[in-house]
Amino acid sequence: MSGSRPTTGTCCPATTAASRPPSDPVSQPLKDLYADLTISPNQRIGFHADARYNVYDLGLREANADVRLVYPRFAVAVGPRFNEQGGSR
C-alpha cells in the first residue's frame, strides 16, 4: 500500500496498516484497516491470521486464519477463509 506505515509488535510478528486513497480524501480519508499476525512456537507448528476491516459502514471485508504443520517432505495448512469482496483485489 502506498503511503502506509506498518507498525510491528516486539513480542510476535504483527502488522497493522492504513493508508489514504489518492482520490476523494474528504469523504473517506482512510482505506481499509489491515492486521496480520503470525505465531510459530516451534519449527513444525505455526498459526497465521489476517483481517481487513472497512471503517465506513462496510465492516469486515476479509478474514483468513490457518494452522500449519511442517514436516521434512511436506507441509499442511488448514483454516477458514472469508472474503466479502468476492474475486476483486
Q: From residue 86, how far is each of 9, 44, 61, 68, 71 by CA, in Å?
A: 30, 32, 10, 25, 33
pTM above 0.95, yes or no: no
Residue 43, amino acid: Q
pLDDT at residue 87 in the model:
54
Q: Tens-digit pLDDT profile for the chain (89 aa)?
A: 455 555 544 445 666 665 655 555 567 788 889 999 999 999 999 999 999 999 888 889 999 999 999 999 999 999 999 998 765 55
d(CA 50, CA 79) in angstroms, rounded, equals 12
What residue has cell string 500449519? 68
- Cell of residue 44, nine digits: 513444525
Nearest alpha-carbon partner for 51 in 40, 60, 38 = 60
Contact 63, 37 (CB under 8 A): no
